[in-house]
């Protein structure tokens, strides 16, 4: 995965203008505890899903006329894969397994118990963000499935001043901002969660104060590139009241 880097000083310079002009309602915040910033429930961290621009290798066993596995099929901008006879099959926001089942269902109108082989040839570029105390803060391209620990590594890793034990993975799920913390110093299953497009990984300064006190200024500065948060004034107020 390559980096799409946004200069940190340039991002920070945009913060004041964002806060002054924000006018769209922000996602409601999940309730946080007073000291640790840990939220009351964890994000839905589902497997990596397909999206427009992804290319798939498709094989219909016993029926080579339906697809050439050597020629990848690209998901169109509306999230559909186009097949002979079956036409457009919606596969966006599905896992590979779910997409395989959807294709088999579509083909069942023409074949008896079709069996499909499906794999990803390439993922289209989508972005997530790694900010705070990392070597190279900014956006990273998700051109393949990446775990949270891999994303940290690609962003240059945690700095000597960063809190490795409480790295935050932030995500908007069903209109709510949710956060999961994981330990990057002693890697475990929590750090192996797959990063999704528009996720934000945040490493706070070790012994630098409460989570909410450190993350709000970073969100304010990052908002021009982190589109899920559109009104940081509301977010700051909600966090500071806790």
What is the Cα 130 distance to its own chain's centre? Answer: 11
What is the Cα 50 distance to its own chain's centre? Answer: 12
pLDDT interval class at 153 (50, 70, 90): very high
pLDDT at residue 188 tops 90: no
| E strands present in the chain | 3-4, 55-60, 73-74, 80-83, 87-90, 116-122, 126-132, 138-142, 167-173, 176-182, 200-203
pLDDT of residue 145: 85
pLDDT of residue 171: 83
Q: What is the mean pLDDT of the chain?
A: 75
pLDDT of residue 229: 53
pLDDT of residue 225: 53
The mean pLDDT of 57-77, rounded to a whole number, is: 89
pLDDT of residue 238: 44
- 80-83 vs 176-182, strand pairing mode: unpaired
pLDDT of residue 174: 72
When comparing pLDDT for 69 and 111, which is higher?
111
Give residue-wise pLDDT tens across range 90-102.
Answer: 999 899 999 999 9
Name the helix (H) or strand (E) containing 107: helix 96-107
The mean pLDDT of 204-212, rounded to a whole number, is: 81
Copy the structure tokens of residue 180. 């999961």
pLDDT of residue 216: 74
pLDDT at residue 14 tops 50: no
Q: What angle is formed at CA 144 by the lines to CA 141 and CA 148, rounded to 5 degrees?
A: 75
Set out the domains of the chain in order of their start, with CATH numbers. Answer: 3-47+125-240 (3.10.560.10), 55-122 (3.30.1950.10)
pLDDT at residue 203 tops 90: yes
When comparing pLDDT for 241 and 77, which is higher?
77
In the numeric block, the tokens 């079956």 are attached to 86
pLDDT at residue 236 tops 50: no
Distance CA(48)–CA(238), nearest Å, equals 31
Distance CA(82)–CA(85), nearest Å, equals 9
When comparing pLDDT for 221 and 37, which is higher?
221
pLDDT of residue 89: 96
pLDDT of residue 222: 63
């Amino acid at each position: 995965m390559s980096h799409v880097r946004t200069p940190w000083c340039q991002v920070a310079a945009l913060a004041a203008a964002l806060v002054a002009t924000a006018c769209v309602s922000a996602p409601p915040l999940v309730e946080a505890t007073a000291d640790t910033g840990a939220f009351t429930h964890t994000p839905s961290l589902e497997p990596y899903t397909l999206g427009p621009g992804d290319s798939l290798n498709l094989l219909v066993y016993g029926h080579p006329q339906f697809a050439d596995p050597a020629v990848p099929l690209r998901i169109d901008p509306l999230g559909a894969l186009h097949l002979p006879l079956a036409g457009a099959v919606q596969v966006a926001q599905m896992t590979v397994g779910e997409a395989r089942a959807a294709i088999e269902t579509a083909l069942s109108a023409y074949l008896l118990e079709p069996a499909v082989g499906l794999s990803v040839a390439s993922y289209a570029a989508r972005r997530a963000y790694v900010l705070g105390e990392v070597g190279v803060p900014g956006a990273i391209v998700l051109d393949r499935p990446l775990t949270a620990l891999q994303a940290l590594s690609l962003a240059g890793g945690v700095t000597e001043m960063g809190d490795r034990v409480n790295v935050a993975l932030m995500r908007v799920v069903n209109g709510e901002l949710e956060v999961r913390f994981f330990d990057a110093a002693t890697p475990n299953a929590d750090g192996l969660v797959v990063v999704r497009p528009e996720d934000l990984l945040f490493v706070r300064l070790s012994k630098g104060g409460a989570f909410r006190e450190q993350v709000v200024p970073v969100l304010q500065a990052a908002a021009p590139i982190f589109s899920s948060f559109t009104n940081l004034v509301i977010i700051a107020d909600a966090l500071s009241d806790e």
